[in-house]
Amino acid sequence: MVLYSKKGNIKGMKEKISIPLVQKLVAYSRKDPVRFHMPGHKGGKGLPRRLKALMEKNLFRWDVTEIPGMDNWHSPEGAIEKAQRLLSQLYGADHSFFLVNGSTSGVMAMLGAALERGSKVLLPRDSHKSALMGIILAGAKPVYLKPEVDLELGVATGVPLDEWKKALDLNPDAKAVFVTNPTYQGFCPPASEIAREAEARGIIVLVDEAHGAHLVFSKKLPSSAGKFEIDAWVQSPHKMLCSLTQTAWLHVKGGKLKLDKIRSYLSLLTSTSPSYILMASLDITRAVMEKIGKQWVEKGLELAERARKMINEKTPFYCVGRELKGRGGISDVDLSRLMINVSSAGYTGFFIEKVLRSKFKIYAEYADYSNVYFLLTGGNTWSDVAKLVSALKRFPARKNKLKPVIFPCDIPVCAMDPAEAYFSPGEKVKLEDAVDRIVKDALIPYPPGVPLLYPGEIIEKQHIEAILEIQSKGGYCQGIKNGFVTVVKNG
C-alpha cells in the first residue's frame, strides 16, 4: 500500500504537509536497495515470518510506557527482568541489561562503573568514541596503546600482545583495560591472552563487542570475548543480528563490577521513557537467536565467503580474508563482513561506494580512502552477493595503485586529562594557527580513523601537515570544521 505521493503528501489529504525525512525513507525503500549496511535485519528479510508480522502489526499497540504490570527498565522486577535473565543465560553472563541507547551507552556505563575520578584505563587509541566519552564522564586517565597500521590497506590492525603486556607492566596501578572485539574491519585482538594478563594483575577487563553479538552462535567465527576471563562486555545486536537500530545489551560476570553502579550510569544515559518497542525487539531477537542463531550467522558467513572468493577471482579488487591472521595485533578475523581494498586497483573507497550506490543501488556499510566495507547477515541473499560481484566486475583495474596517506602515529604530548580539556572554555582557531594549542575535541582523520589527537593533547606542526595532506587526498578530519579547530582557551 502506497501511503505517500512522490511529493511526500499523504494520499487522501488535501493540504500539503512537509515530511522531508519520511520522503527520503519512502524513496529509499521504494528503490529496493541491496542492503549491506546495518541494521542486520536488512529491511526485515530473513526473520521468521510470524515474528516479523507480529512486530509490524503491533508497532503502535505495543508503544506503551511504565503502566502497571509492564515493569520498569530503570529498576526491573517483572517481565523486563525475566527477559534480561533469559538473555544472560544465552550469552553466559551473570547479569544482562537491555539497552535502548546503543552500545554507546553500555560502553560509557561499564567504564563509569569500573573507574573512579583519576583512575587509569588502558585502551587502544582507535577505540570507539563512546570510550572517550565514558572516560570523560568518569574523569578517568586514559593510557593509550598505539595500534599498528597496515600501510597497504591504510587501516589500523591492532595492538600486539607484547605491547599490551608492556603497558600492563608499566601501569600496575591501572584499574581497567578496554578491548574491542572485533573492530569495524572485523579484526579480533588476542582478547583471551589480554584478559588473562589483566585478570592476573587484578585489573578489570571490559570489552566493546558492539560488532560481535553474532560470534557466540558459530564455531566457524572467532570467539566471543564473553568466553574469556572478562568482567563486562557490550554488544549491538542491531549490527549483525536482527534487532532494531539503537538496541544493544550489556553483560556482566564475576563480582568486580557493582550492578548498582552500572544501573546508575545507565539511568544517567537513558531516557526516563525507554521504548518498549525497542525492548520488545531485543526480547524477540534473543528468542529468534536461541532457535536459529547458528543458521542465521552461518548463512551470512557462507554468503560472505562465496563473495570473497568471487571478488578475488573475478574483479580487480582484493577482499581481505583469513591470511590477515597474525598480522599486526590481529589474532583472528570475522569473515562475515567484507573488507574490500580498492586502492590497490587505483580507486578510492569513497568513489567505489558512491558509484555502487548511485548506479547499482548497492549500499555498502562504510567506505574509507582505501577500502569499502559490507556486512552480511542471515538477512542477505545470494542475489545480493551476485549483484555486488557483477557491479564490481565493471570497474577496470587502473594502472597506478593509490599510495597510502602517511600518518604520524607517535602518541602526542598530553597537557590535560580529557575531562579537564572537554569542560574547559574553548575557542575556534584556524588549523594552521593552532600549533602548541590544546585540543578540546578529538581530531580523527579518515583514513585511517585512528584519533590523531585526543582532548587534552597538544597540536604540533606535524599533525597539521598530516591533516592537510589527508584532506588534499579526498579524506576528511572529524573535529575540523571549515578549516577551524576548537582548542582550550588560553589564560
Ligand X SMILES: Cc1ncc(COP(=O)(O)O)c(C=O)c1O
Chain residues in the site for ligand X (CB under 6 A): 102-104, 107, 128, 130, 180, 184, 208, 210-211, 236, 248
Closest chain position to ligand X (CB): 102
Q: CA of 444: how far to CAs of 220, 447, 479, in Å?
A: 34, 9, 7
Nearer to ligand X, 270 or 462 (CB): 270
Cα–Cα dist 349/334, whole Å: 20
- CA 174 remoteness from chain centre: 25
Nearer to ligand X, 375 or 452 (CB): 375
Task: Specify whether the CB–CB gap between 79 and 70 falls below 8 A.
Answer: yes
Q: How far is the CB of 238 from ligand X (least distance, A)?
A: 6
Q: Helix or strand or coil: residue 116? A: coil
Q: Helix or strand or coil: residue 198? A: helix
Nearer to ligand X, 132 or 485 (CB): 132
Neighbours of 20 (CB within 10 A): 8
Nearer to ligand X, 184 or 296 (CB): 184
| Backbone Cα Rg of the chain | 23
Q: How far is the CB of 11 from ligand X (least distance, A)?
A: 34
Nearer to ligand X, 40 or 154 (CB): 40
Q: How far is the CB of 75 from ligand X (least distance, A)?
A: 23
Q: How far is the CB of 412 from ligand X (least distance, A)?
A: 22
Nearer to ligand X, 130 or 371 (CB): 130
Q: How far is the CB of 344 from ligand X (least distance, A)?
A: 25
CA 173-179-180 angle, 5° bins? 165
Q: How far is the CB of 458 from ligand X (least distance, A)?
A: 27
For residue 458, the cross-strand partners are 438
CA 125-129-131 angle, 5° bins? 75
Q: And the C-alpha cell for 374? A: 559490507
Q: Helix or strand or coil: residue 253? A: coil
Q: How far is the CB of 239 from ligand X (least distance, A)?
A: 7
Q: How far is the CB of 283 from ligand X (least distance, A)?
A: 17
Nearer to ligand X, 211 or 440 (CB): 211
Nearer to ligand X, 208 or 334 (CB): 208
Nearer to ligand X, 104 or 315 (CB): 104
Q: How far is the CB of 246 from ligand X (least distance, A)?
A: 7
Residue 359, Cβ density class (10 Å: 0-12 exposed, 13-18 middle, ≥19 buried):
exposed
Long-range contact list for 287-295, CB < 8 A, 24+ apart? 287/51, 287/86, 288/47, 288/48, 288/51, 288/241, 288/242, 289/90, 289/217, 289/237, 289/241, 289/242, 290/86, 290/90, 291/48, 292/48, 292/378, 293/214, 293/216, 293/217, 294/217, 294/218, 295/378
Q: How far is the CB of 12 from ligand X (least distance, A)?
A: 37
Nearer to ligand X, 240 or 488 (CB): 240
Task: Specify whether the CB–CB gap between 56 and 300 falls below 8 A.
Answer: no
Q: And the C-alpha cell for 265? A: 550510569
